[in-house]
A and B are shown apart, each in its own frame.
Chain A
């Protein structure tokens, strides 16, 4: 969580300094949910993170330098400058590369899990994330339904951060609770306070265990407030003072730090050392990516398919 927060603060600062082209999308306020999504996964699992999952990606094992490489467009990164920011992944290592269209990755994870089942692999699960905004697409509906039809070992973690870009919940959906949809899809559904790291680890960890044990697909709905704009270009002025005072608006990182120091799990000095280490790791990753070559149009391979002989010669 701390590493993710530190890295994203660095990315925001690089963005403001004009060093990052495109956008920067951070998971501030969502780190507790996200880290709980990544931390219980192991080799052989499939993870399809979304826009605000820096913490989960790092917990899953994504090298920090891949983050910097993708934001800076390094040719040595997983996306080689062909895609940027949060649209990154290493599918061979189990981390899928999201597309922007929300809900599209759910069925992709379903297919990956079916393939593993056909191959005779055991004990694997898939975990994908979505927001309350993404919960409203047709693709999400189809994906959740087909996951249950195929009875794959899947956990879907939906984080209600209370805004789809600037649109509040009351213009997003009209059901009482998103988790109620679980039963309609044939999922098992749970809710969690996304500001509480302990609760996230418990509820998401249990869902992962149930999926591994062969239970039906799991839906966990977490409640938080996005403590930043949709992207760094967004001043999130649409978030009212009233909402900022709600319990779900608390900062999960501050709460976690307070919990571990108050319960004397960690002293203030150690916490400071962790922060320093995080800053150092982030600096190292960014420095490394900045030294790497960026792509050049004249040297790019402009063939979009792997079968080179079938590349169309249109101009």
Chain B
């Protein structure tokens, strides 16, 4: 048996709907026989009548409705068709869902699924990674699963958590990642994972960039360099302790993210290591991010905009020379 990252997300939702009557899925084209733009809910509307509901193209109202249902005891999963379109729901997510517990003491257990990240030819409005933006605001948990196993167990945990969770699922990984079977449980939410052990340098990454980082580490291994790769799994909360422990072993840090360079998860990793582990560093920490332009359409431009394993290799070499 072989199961993809996308199938894992569908299977997680099927299990959730089966096990818990409070759960419903709300989003554009998720219902009927269509099953979502990426088929992440295929067959679920038929299997769970009345609980997988098509919505109007109203991102704000989709999330608002989920918030109201969550406060009344339901566990809604909102599917954004693309992460990019969640910008239209920012107000509901940041100012409503993110503030309800702090203001009223009532929890707001919504899960918002964001099909994130770039694929060839998708252009500026179907390629974005929005984890930095959501992490910046208080009151939200932001998950960025990088493996089939995590895609499955973290989505199940996201729905179980009593707080709003932004679940960033990567579209490139949908079809490119496969696992033999789905696990019963994963690491605790908020705990990073050492994806590859090394001693010369630490790469901290998450989501699709984990795989570019692992590819880079493999290339460098051919040159005798042993790079450690940390998979953050969730960017908020950020597991600073695991990152610091890795840097303590290697003395060098490179943070890799697919999002735009200004601020963001990679900046946060470096800020924390610089503030809390400055003495552990043998060289200045560095980052590899996307470029500071909208995400381009043409594959030639797209692959130059996005961090690649080659760009990561080049940066690692530079860091190790210092």
A interface residues (Cβ-Cβ under 8 A, vs B): 46, 78-79, 82-83, 87, 89-92, 96-97, 99-101, 104-116, 118-119, 138-139, 142-143, 145-146, 149-150, 304-307, 309-315
Contacts and interface: CB of A to CB of B under 8 A. Distances in A.
B142 to A, nearest CB: 9
B250 interface: no
Contact of A149 (B56, B74, B101, B138): B56
A115 B66 CA distance: 9
Contacts of A46: 68
A310 B69 contact: no
Nearest to A114: B69
A105 B92 CA distance: 9
Interface in B63-91: 63-74, 76, 88, 91
Given A104-B91, A112-B72, A139 B60 contact: yes
B190 A309 contact: yes
Contacts of A306: 101, 107, 162-163
A142 B104 contact: no
21 contacts: A78-B104, A79-B104, A83-B103, A97-B100, A99-B96, A101-B91, A104-B64, A107-B58, A113-B68, A119-B73, A139-B91, A139-B92, A142-B59, A143-B61, A305-B139, A305-B140, A306-B101, A306-B107, A306-B162, A312-B237, A315-B275
A131 B209 CA distance: 47
Given A115-B69, A311-B237, 20 more contacts: A79-B103, A82-B102, A89-B104, A97-B100, A97-B103, A99-B95, A99-B99, A104-B60, A107-B63, A108-B67, A110-B68, A111-B71, A115-B73, A119-B72, A142-B60, A142-B61, A145-B56, A145-B61, A307-B162, A310-B161
Contact of B67 (A101, A111, A113, A139): A111
Given A82-B102, A92-B106, A146 B68 contact: no
A115 B24 CA distance: 10
A93 B166 CA distance: 28
Contacts of A312: 236-238
Contacts of A87: 103
A108 B74 CA distance: 13
A42 B313 CA distance: 66
A104 B95 CA distance: 10
A131 to B, nearest CB: 18
Q: Is the interface of B mostly helix, strand, loop or mixed?
A: helix
Nearest to B74: A115
Given A79-B104, A97-B104, A104-B64, A146 B56 contact: yes
Interface of B: 24, 55-56, 58-74, 76, 88, 91-92, 95-96, 98-104, 106-107, 138-141, 161-163, 189-190, 236-238, 240, 268, 272, 275
Contacts of B268: 314
Contact of A111 (B72, B98, B104, B163): B72
Nearest to B160: A307
A146 B63 CA distance: 11
B141 A310 contact: yes
A91 B71 CA distance: 8
Contact of B58 (A91, A146, A304, A309): A146
Contact of B96 (A108, A109, A112): A108
B58 A142 contact: yes
B163 A118 contact: no
Contacts of B275: 315
B61 A110 contact: yes
B65 A108 contact: yes
A272 to B, nearest CB: 39
Nearest to B55: A146
Nearest to A115: B72
A139 B91 CA distance: 9
A91 B68 CA distance: 10
Contacts of A111: 64-72, 74, 76
Contacts of A310: 141, 161, 163, 189-190, 237
B95 A101 contact: yes
B107 A114 contact: no
A82 B161 CA distance: 23
Contacts of B73: 115, 119
A139 B64 contact: yes
A154 to B, nearest CB: 11
